[in-house]
Amino acid sequence: MPAIAVESTQRGYIIPIGGAERKKGKKPAILGRFVELCGGDDARILVIPTASLLNETGPQYEELFKSMGARSMCVPIENREECFNEETLRILGEATGVFITGGNQLRLSTILGGTPVARLIRSMNAGGVHVAGTSAGAAIVSEHMIAGGRSGSSPRESGVELAPGLGLTNRVIIDQHFNQRQRMGRLLAALSFNPFACGLGIDENTAAFIAPDGRMEVLGNGTVTVVDPSDLRHSSMSYVRRAEAVTLIGLKLHVLAEGAHFNVETRIATLD
């Protein structure tokens, strides 16, 4: 379960981004909105580039946030030992926003999972600090993380690989680069294992801004595909053979573009 919010303290936003978000221009909409939430010119944003194998990924985001007026620092965390570093934890603890870059989500879960860094991010988000992640960084914010799987539109047995995420929310399972990489099948397969959660399939250059009360707003030029399994009446996942197609009856689907909302608590989609 997510960390319990401190009494009288509002939980921070959770902001999964589908990857390939716009970075050029006077003020890129998604990243600019994140900076504003974190305090604008008073924002202190910590960039965690663990998922990426490219040395330039973290510094690029650090400079990008600085160009928007925020104070920003990149802290490369390359192994689990570094997650116990007192200086790293001190720097993290001073942030008003945490940004997790893209790359390989299994690097995130195997390096950060269960460490003091992961626990501190959870408690900080419960205490009001906003956490955003793009691509792999988006996948890991939920309790159940999609680590890999088949492309395609239909769910199949063995069609998805799941791993533990940071657990900032247990209300959703997130997939990214959604329509660009045809990931409906693996999101549906993930939901067949855990129909408690809603599925969010987030397109590139698109973000879901999930507020403390569970109200989600879509921002960007793609869509967020919401799959709600709360009325799921039948799933064949438990008895189909390996790699066979899966039957799912009773799913509800929403396709939401910029300005649309969905409440992950009430499961109601709206346009206001």
Pairing mode of beta strands 234-235, 248-249 = antiparallel
Mean pLDDT of 266-272: 95
What was the pLDDT predicted at 135? 98
Does 227 score more than 80 pLDDT?
yes
| Residue corresponding to tokens 């504003």 | 36
Q: Give the count of domains, the chain.
A: 1
What was the pLDDT predicted at 6? 60
Mean pLDDT of 84-89: 98
Q: Which residue has the higher pLDDT, 3 or 116?
A: 116
Cα gap 132→252, rounded to integer Å: 27
Q: Vertex 14, ends 81 and 193: CA angle to 5°?
A: 80
DSSP 177-211: STTTTT-HHHHHHHHHH-TTSEEEEE-TTEEEEE-
5 — pLDDT class (breaks 50, 70, 90): low
| Residue corresponding to tokens 């239909």 | 154
From the candidates 62, 72, 143, 177, which is the catalytic residue? Answer: 177
Does 234 score more than 80 pLDDT?
yes
Would you call 87 a catalytic residue per the annotation? no
What was the pLDDT predicted at 44? 98
| CATH number, domain with residue 41 | 3.40.50.880
What was the pLDDT predicted at 9? 82
- Asked if residue 3 belongs to a domain, the reply is no
Poorest-confidence range of 17-31, 205-219, 240-254? 17-31
Cα gap 207→199, rounded to integer Å: 14
- Asked if residue 57 belongs to a domain, the reply is yes
- Asked if residue 137 belongs to a domain, the reply is yes
Mean pLDDT of 106-125: 98
- Asked if residue 8 belongs to a domain, the reply is no
Report the mean per-residue pLDDT for the chain: 96
What was the pLDDT predicted at 42? 98
What was the pLDDT predicted at 8? 61
Where are the alpha helices (H) located in the chain, listed in sequence order? 29-37, 57-67, 86-93, 105-112, 116-126, 136-139, 184-193
- Asked if residue 136 belongs to a domain, the reply is yes
What was the pLDDT predicted at 193? 94
Its domain, for residue 164, covers 14-264
What was the pLDDT predicted at 2? 76
Classified as helix, coil or strand, 271 is coil
Q: What is the pTM of this model?
A: 0.97
Report the percent of the chain where pLDDT is more than 70: 97
Mean pLDDT of 219-242: 97
Cα gap 108→10, rounded to integer Å: 26
Cα gap 152→17, rounded to integer Å: 21
- Asked if residue 183 belongs to a domain, the reply is yes
From the candidates 62, 143, 204, 217, which is the catalytic residue? Answer: 204
272 — pLDDT class (breaks 50, 70, 90): confident
What was the pLDDT predicted at 178? 98
Mean pLDDT of 53-78: 97
- Asked if residue 61 belongs to a domain, the reply is yes
Query: What's the pLDDT tens digit per position in 172-213?
Result: 999 999 999 999 999 999 999 999 999 999 999 999 999 999
What was the pLDDT predicted at 47? 98
Would you call 135 a catalytic residue per the annotation? yes
Would you call 177 a catalytic residue per the annotation? yes
- Asked if residue 2 belongs to a domain, the reply is no
Q: Which residue has the higher pLDDT, 6 or 228?
A: 228
Does 253 score more than 80 pLDDT?
yes
Does 7 score more than 70 pLDDT?
no
What was the pLDDT predicted at 24? 87
From the candidates 72, 109, 135, 235, which is the catalytic residue? Answer: 135
What was the pLDDT predicted at 207? 98
